Structure 1
Amino acid sequence: MATLVLTTVGGLVGGPVGAALGGLIGQAADRAMLFKPKGRQGPRLTELAVQTSSYGRPIPRLFGRMRVAGQVIWATDLREHRERQGGGKGQPSLTSYSYSASFAVALSARPILAIGRIWADGNLLRGAAGDWKVATGFRLHLGGEDQLPDPLIASAEGLEQAPAHRGIAYAVFENLPLEQFGNRIPLLTFEVIADAAPVSVGSIARELAAGALVGDGPAQPIHGFSAYGDSSRGVIETLAEMTGAWFTPDGHALAMRDDVIATRTVANDGRQRRVAPLTRVPQSVLLSHYDPARDWQTGAQRAVRHGPGSVSVSVEVPAAIAASTAKTIAAAMLTRAEVQRTRRDLTLDAAAIDVAPGSVVTIEGEEQGGAWRVVAARVERFRVTLTLVALAPPSIPMRASAGRVLRAPDAPAGRTIVRALELPDITGAAAIRPQVTIVAAGTGTGWRRAALHTSLDDGACWVPAGATRAPGIMGIVTNAPGAAAGTLVDRRHTIEVSLLHTDMALTDADPAALDRGANLAAIGNEVLQFGRAAQTGAARWRLSALRRALFGTTAEPIGNGSAFVLLDGNTVVSVPIDAAPGEVLRVMANGVGDDVPAETTQVLTGRSILPPAPVRLTARVAEETLYCAWRRRSRSDWRWRDGVDAALIEERERYRLVITGSGAPTILEADAPFAAVPLAAIAGSPRTVEVQQMGTHGLSPAAILNC
């Protein structure tokens, strides 16, 4: 009966929404306990965690700060990208495929202020600093009533067919790479900032009621709330259940109250109280909520009472609240259920005809009786009968822990630093084209990869060259060593380097590890190894036990400020270049944290495909003949596993000799690592002898001997 009567009253004072809220009051009077059967169609916690793309599903109205998945409201087909590598000079080519997608995700049915972090399949796609972990186009529409159609959607659908989605806040991704998401659109969740500060329950309810509610309402602040459901009534009922609020007529509207301040004292008619059995009260309340301290993952807090009973109640509150607040709310809900076991019926004279349901009263003469809420009022024969329920005192703040937080790493990538080196063949692959070794890293610890492009025409045309590998370890030399022999371990010199950031580290390596290629580094034009690495500062290291002049390089003095690059197999990428020695190569690396791509240049010397200079060059004159001898070296098979001469690798063994006397140089060729030249063929006494090995792709550097 109360439901029917108060629905009619609500319709009179508030229209259709008022009728719904009036019905809510009536239902509260009809139900015996706070914990009634679930009949609302309000928000649930799981509805914010799953990204959907279904027609007819409601879009939540977000308040405060929340994490939501949203709904995909527009998408293109997957876009296929092909990249062809290799295939020059008789070598097979490799075509790789990747995919991207463009789509729009609706977030809130009311305007928002901004977007914070974005997660993709649980990992950060965009960090707290606004930095992207994957390169993508992105636009955010805040949901204003004057917003225009997104340009990408308009270009795909046509300007006349592209909706502006006014009043809907939504995000648009343009060409999001899908490689690391299994070539599918990942499950995205967004940290949405709808309001600048926490919002009160009362302000949320007033906005949802669209004028049917007046007054401040419950002042309980919450970090965020998702008004999601098939009716405003279901959402408002959730808020009322959370705060213990109720509704009362206020002029031509309704007010939402949660206070225990009495507005009137009524007479005591002497009737006894009615107290329901304690077993009808839940013994525990488990309240589930979104916890901002845990990146809006679901948290749960339980309140337990002592005494008889075995019923446990679970309540879902789709609000972002702290663990302590959730514990306090759960305890308050349990206290209200226990206190509201007590009811009274008072029969008063006609002077009490203006006491409306929802009013808070005290009973005359009951100093310890506390406050009572009117849940029903009936007028019969000039007498007013009020049904009262006891009100619980204000809740006591409680403390609770959110538990252990397992957050996705959020390290800014910083800008990309790239190094391009033409090194001797350190892999034994016997390259047939110049090979450029590229290592890249970032100034931030979150840097992962960068797209590579190369240019041989000073940037007029850029050619895709794949992507970098794992972040490299690099820095600059701050204390350079002097020259040293390459035949012994250099224990005299040390090298001090400063790495890019403190998360980069170097380690020691024993002789066995060094033999397997550990701690290989390029410093200037020299390739070397170090056996000891001692940290001397936050990002500073001292390297010792040096193996100098490896892979045919020379152990010349290294200048301060020279680049230091650790040549780890997991971090280097070799890019073949169709170019000739002497050409200038530009390398561009574009990472997700780069406003401007990083660039570096490298003059191709050809030492990646040329044999190293001969060694042990000797020359002596006897019997009017100049006898020269030397040892050749190979550009492959540097470890000398079998104890025999290194493999030739080149098409044939051939050498070029330049002997300089007092006149014009004498140029000769030889098929073996020695030569006998009559002095008569030399213009004057020999002064210098230069020997170069004639490789398949060109001449080696010269071995020079001053006679």
Structure 2
Amino acid sequence: MATLVLSVVGRALGGPIGAVLGAALGGVVDRDVLMRPKGVEGPRLASLHLQTSNYGTPLQKVFGTMRVGGCVIWSTDLIESRSKSSSGKGQPSVTRYSYAASFAVALSGRPIVGVGRIWADGNLLRGSGGDFKVSTGFRLHLGGEDQPVDPLIAAAEGVGFAPAHRGIAYAVFETLQLADYGNRIPSLTFEVIGDAAPVSVGAIAEALSEGSVAAADAVQPLAGFAAYGDSVGSVLDTLAQAGGAWFAPVGGTVAMRAGCASEREIANGETRSVGASSGKPHRAVAALESVPRQVTLSHYDLAREYQIGLQSVRRPGAGRREDRIELPAAIDAGTAKTLAHGILARGEAGRERRSVTLGWDALDVVPGACVTIAGVAGVWRVTGWSLEKMVLSLDCVRLAGGTLPVAASPGRVLAAPDVVTGTTVIEVFESLPFDDALLSAPRVTIVAGGTQPGWRRAALLYSLDDGARWTPLGSTAAPGSMGRLASLPGRGSSAIADQAQAFEVDLAYSAMTLESADPRALDAGANLALVGDELLQFSTATQIGARRWRLAGLWRGRRGTEAAMGGQAIGDRFVLIEAESALSLDLPLAALGADLRLLASGTGDVDGPVATRVMVRGTSVVPPSPVHLRWRESGAGDACVTWVRRSRNGWRWSDGIDVPQGEEREAYRVTLLWNDGRSQLTETHEPRVVVASGDRVGGVVLRVVQIGTQGESDGATITIPDGYG
């Protein structure tokens, strides 16, 4: 930069020759006086990934695509939420607390194109598909000079008091759930896209210097670079090292030069003017040990999610010196190794230096120029320039040839899992409890999952008054295995194991699986599934497609659902019932007969919450219908009808004698139904009734229900023919 300043001054004072003299004089002044004060450093590898919130922290300017930490520039206090739940009657309620926060993070001191992945404490918060793994509202401000104030910040700080941060790209997180991060704001890093494609070091230098440095031929591309440091000069030095470049005066400005193309040929210094110094050596070669034997270059590796990668190259021969170079740019392993080769090659070539003396007519050969020397092989860069008594002395260093691309491996990559979340799939139904509990109020079961493997949970709200009021229910249980019927199980019997029939289901995604179970596991409750409205168990699960499974070895009509056997249709629900994925919701008795509405909101539900509903019929609190209805003649034309009661608990029939009563009393309501529409109602306290001969005239249908503590069972029917037919 001193060269630039003095060159401009020289041109103003003395025309073209003055400009050349000014540029040469500028080379005498230590460039660091203007560009890099003592102790000032450019970007380091570790600094870019650290999230800060300190005043005065330099804000990086992102070029290409780069992973950076950002700086928290605004935040709210923690937002506390409470939810209360109970495990059932007689159990104490549990109050759970959750926390969230809203905050803004500055990402770049220049406009950007967008943001890709986001990491929180090293784990993906936002995947490459743009899906968030944790619930949050997210807005991105690209840093334009016309960007508006963020509405959340304006609402919190007041209109007129919230800055728009124009010229600064920043992200706003609204109500980020903090449960996964120890109830604190996590350390965030962002894949910031400053430009849509890789950017050359020359273009970056030109942008940072606001045009004071021309890009020239510094074309080394970088996939990403974050300009971060105490001065522009320190960053330019870093870029020059990355591109094997140097700075040279060109006209009235400074150019970032690279490569080895010669601009002109100069003489070999045979002519000296009278009075010029003599005895200066024309050629000097430094010892091999003066250059490193090994160069190790550290960088941000694209294949390692921008984690630090190392590439080393080693030359043969003498020497013990090893140089380690930090290049805080995003490049792949092959580019890093190629750059290390170039650094080593430039060091070896630079051992040879030449001094030539020329007449004053060669004043236009300025420091930084590339020349060939008559009779000497190679291309040389002018590094020193002096004029004494109209004799021009040039110091030159040999330039290395171009470096061919080198292949390299980034090593083993342990990337953070990027599993797509997908949208929520939820099923809610009422059935007898799966733990043989005797309920005094209705209970519904909620099973939820997602359309992709990354789905974890969804927040729940429910309403019993058609949406007039909504009650928070916390979050869903573990993801369940769910799908849709691709073929039907047909009709069957709940009394025997069905080894003949099978049916097929399409699960929600290909990574979801089912397992087979032996009879002992089935007896313990394994592989219980809701198929349409029927609960059944299956012993054999066979995968026959990416998402399709064939289920056989069926135990039908479990827990009193035999009435639903054969009533399924293609596309009906399939839900595997497991303890860890089934969430129970106990409702008041007043909910009987009401519609339960449910809203589920997961991180992937970008189109809004998923809604479902179920009628609370009391299935969970009434006994199953009686079974094994039989009739026999009892004399004089009368018919004796008997049946077997069932219970809400004791489904495993562990004692082999009788199932528990399960109700406060044993009682049945019996209805006789005739073809002419007449009916007759009676009540009994034992599982039998006598139909008189007169009531059998023309045949009669008998319907019996068990009266439970909380309501009546479904009815079971039997037809009794005319006793005189």
TM-score by length of 1: 0.91
1:585 to 596, 599, 602: 596
Distance between the aligned counterparts of 1:570 and 1:409, measured in 2?
23
The 1:170/1:116 distance shift into structure 2, 3 A limit, reads: same
**Which residue of structure 1 aligns with residue 333 of structure 2?**
323
Could you list the per-position Cα deviations for residues 300-340 of structure 1 after superposition, in whole angstroms to 9, with x for gaps in the alignment?
11111111111211111111112111111101001111111
Distance between the aligned counterparts of 2:468 and 2:11, measured in 1?
70
Asked if structure 2 preserves the Cα contact closer than 8 Å seen for 1:11 and 1:22, the reply is no
Read off the aligned partner of 1:612 and give its amino acid letter. Answer: P
**Which residue of structure 2 aligns with residue 113 of structure 1?**
113
The 1:632/1:499 distance shift into structure 2, 3 A limit, reads: same
2:629 to 608, 617, 622: 617
**Which residue of structure 1 aligns with residue 650 of structure 2?**
637
SS in 2 for 1:698: coil
- For this pair of structures, how many residues does the alignment match? 693
Q: CA deviation at 1:550?
A: 1.1
Asked if structure 2 preserves the Cα contact closer than 8 Å seen for 1:361 and 1:371, the reply is yes
Asked if structure 2 preserves the Cα contact closer than 8 Å seen for 1:248 and 1:255, the reply is yes
SS in 2 for 1:138: strand
Asked if structure 1 preserves the Cα contact closer than 8 Å seen for 2:24 and 2:366, the reply is no
Distance between the aligned counterparts of 2:489 and 2:250, measured in 1?
87
Asked if structure 2 preserves the Cα contact closer than 8 Å seen for 1:25 and 1:247, the reply is no
1:696 to 709, 714, 719: 709
Q: CA deviation at 1:454?
A: 2.0
Distance between the aligned counterparts of 1:659 and 1:431, measured in 2?
31
Distance between the aligned counterparts of 1:14 and 1:85, measured in 2?
82
**Which residue of structure 2 aligns with residue 239 of structure 1?**
239
2:668 to 655, 658, 673: 655
Q: CA deviation at 1:674?
A: 4.2
Q: CA deviation at 1:464?
A: 2.1
The 1:628/1:667 distance shift into structure 2, 3 A limit, reads: same
The 1:554/1:396 distance shift into structure 2, 3 A limit, reads: same
1:669 to 679, 683, 689: 683
The 1:338/1:38 distance shift into structure 2, 3 A limit, reads: farther
2:347 to 337, 340, 344: 337
SS in 2 for 1:378: strand
Read off the aligned partner of 2:566 and give its amino acid letter. Answer: P
Distance between the aligned counterparts of 1:25 and 1:565, measured in 2?
80
Distance between the aligned counterparts of 1:405 and 1:335, measured in 2?
30
Could you list the per-position Cα deviations for residues 30-85 of structure 1 after superposition, in whole angstroms to 9, with x for gaps in the alignment?
9xxxxxx9965101111111111111110001101111111111111100011233
User: Is 1:9 the equivalent of 2:6?
Assistant: yes
Could you list the per-position Cα deviations for residues 167-202 of structure 1 after superposition, in whole angstroms to 9, with x for gaps in the alignment?
110000010111111111112111111112211111
Distance between the aligned counterparts of 1:678 and 1:229, measured in 2?
98
**Which residue of structure 2 aligns with residue 85 of structure 1?**
85
Distance between the aligned counterparts of 1:440 and 1:61, measured in 2?
44
User: Is 1:487 the equivalent of 2:501?
Assistant: no
Distance between the aligned counterparts of 1:477 and 1:678, measured in 2?
44
Read off the aligned partner of 2:415 and give its amino acid letter. Answer: R
Q: CA deviation at 1:8?
A: 6.7
Asked if structure 2 preserves the Cα contact closer than 8 Å seen for 1:13 and 1:252, the reply is no
User: Is 1:224 the equivalent of 2:224?
Assistant: yes
Asked if structure 2 preserves the Cα contact closer than 8 Å seen for 1:587 and 1:600, the reply is yes
Distance between the aligned counterparts of 1:605 and 1:296, measured in 2?
56
Distance between the aligned counterparts of 1:528 and 1:417, measured in 2?
21
Distance between the aligned counterparts of 1:13 and 1:460, measured in 2?
81
2:470 to 462, 483, 487: 462
Q: Which runs of 5+ in 1 are unaligned?
A: 31-36
TM-score by length of 2: 0.89
Read off the aligned partner of 2:713 and give its amino acid letter. Answer: S
User: Is 1:399 the equivalent of 2:407?
Assistant: yes
The 1:663/1:680 distance shift into structure 2, 3 A limit, reads: farther
**Which residue of structure 1 aligns with residue 723 of structure 2?**
none
Distance between the aligned counterparts of 2:167 and 2:651, measured in 1?
69
Read off the aligned partner of 1:281 and give its amino acid letter. Answer: V
Q: CA deviation at 1:679?
A: 4.1
SS in 1 for 2:647: coil
* Superposition pairs of residues 88-103 of structure 1, within 5 angstroms: 92-103=92-103
The 1:325/1:28 distance shift into structure 2, 3 A limit, reads: farther
Asked if structure 2 preserves the Cα contact closer than 8 Å seen for 1:502 and 1:538, the reply is yes
SS in 2 for 1:259: coil
**Which residue of structure 2 aligns with residue 448 of structure 1?**
456
**Which residue of structure 1 aligns with residue 153 of structure 2?**
153
Distance between the aligned counterparts of 1:149 and 1:666, measured in 2?
76
**Residue identity (%):** 49
Could you list the per-position Cα deviations for residues 438-469 of structure 1 after superposition, in whole angstroms to 9, with x for gaps in the alignment?
22222233322222222223333332222222
Q: CA deviation at 1:396?
A: 1.9
Q: CA deviation at 1:485?
A: 1.9
SS in 2 for 1:347: strand
Asked if structure 1 preserves the Cα contact closer than 8 Å seen for 2:136 and 2:174, the reply is yes
**Which residue of structure 1 aligns with residue 286 of structure 2?**
276
1:531 to 532, 539, 547: 539
Read off the aligned partner of 2:131 and give its amino acid letter. Answer: D
**Which residue of structure 2 aligns with residue 34 of structure 1?**
none
**Which residue of structure 2 aligns with residue 599 of structure 1?**
611
Q: CA deviation at 1:89?
A: 8.0
Distance between the aligned counterparts of 2:251 and 2:303, measured in 1?
42
SS in 1 for 2:539: strand
Read off the aligned partner of 2:522 and give its amino acid letter. Answer: L
User: Is 1:425 the equivalent of 2:439?
Assistant: no
**Which residue of structure 2 aligns with residue 434 of structure 1?**
442
* Superposition pairs of residues 54-453 of structure 1, within 5 angstroms: 54-86=54-86, 92-269=92-269, 271-366=281-376, 368=377, 370-453=378-461
The 1:25/1:548 distance shift into structure 2, 3 A limit, reads: farther
Q: CA deviation at 1:684?
A: 7.1
Farther off after superposition, 409-418 or 177-186: 409-418
Q: Which runs of 5+ in 2 are unaligned?
A: 13-21, 271-280, 721-725
Farther off after superposition, 375-384 or 331-340: 375-384
Asked if structure 1 preserves the Cα contact closer than 8 Å seen for 2:217 and 2:259, the reply is no
Q: CA deviation at 1:227?
A: 0.4
Q: CA deviation at 1:686?
A: 8.2
Asked if structure 2 preserves the Cα contact closer than 8 Å seen for 1:178 and 1:184, the reply is yes
SS in 2 for 1:338: helix
Q: CA deviation at 1:549?
A: 1.5
**Which residue of structure 1 aligns with residue 47 of structure 2?**
47
Name the Cα RMSD after superposition: 3.0
Distance between the aligned counterparts of 1:211 and 1:491, measured in 2?
81
Q: CA deviation at 1:6?
A: 4.9
Read off the aligned partner of 1:632 and give its amino acid letter. Answer: R
**Which residue of structure 1 aligns with residue 15 of structure 2?**
none
The 1:22/1:152 distance shift into structure 2, 3 A limit, reads: farther
Q: CA deviation at 1:148?
A: 2.3
Distance between the aligned counterparts of 2:597 and 2:620, measured in 1?
17
**Which residue of structure 2 aligns with residue 560 of structure 1?**
569
Asked if structure 2 preserves the Cα contact closer than 8 Å seen for 1:454 and 1:586, the reply is yes
The 1:324/1:680 distance shift into structure 2, 3 A limit, reads: closer
Asked if structure 2 preserves the Cα contact closer than 8 Å seen for 1:267 and 1:364, the reply is yes
Could you list the per-position Cα deviations for residues 506-543 of structure 1 after superposition, in whole angstroms to 9, with x for gaps in the alignment?
22111122122221111122111111122232322221
SS in 1 for 2:500: coil
**Which residue of structure 2 aligns with residue 501 of structure 1?**
509
Farther off after superposition, 552-561 or 41-50: 552-561
The 1:29/1:348 distance shift into structure 2, 3 A limit, reads: farther
Read off the aligned partner of 1:190 and give its amino acid letter. Answer: F
Read off the aligned partner of 2:583 and give its amino acid letter. Answer: V
Distance between the aligned counterparts of 2:651 and 2:254, measured in 1?
88
The 1:111/1:695 distance shift into structure 2, 3 A limit, reads: same
Could you list the per-position Cα deviations for residues 468-512 of structure 1 after superposition, in whole angstroms to 9, with x for gaps in the alignment?
223322222232133222121111211122223322222211112
Farther off after superposition, 662-671 or 196-205: 662-671
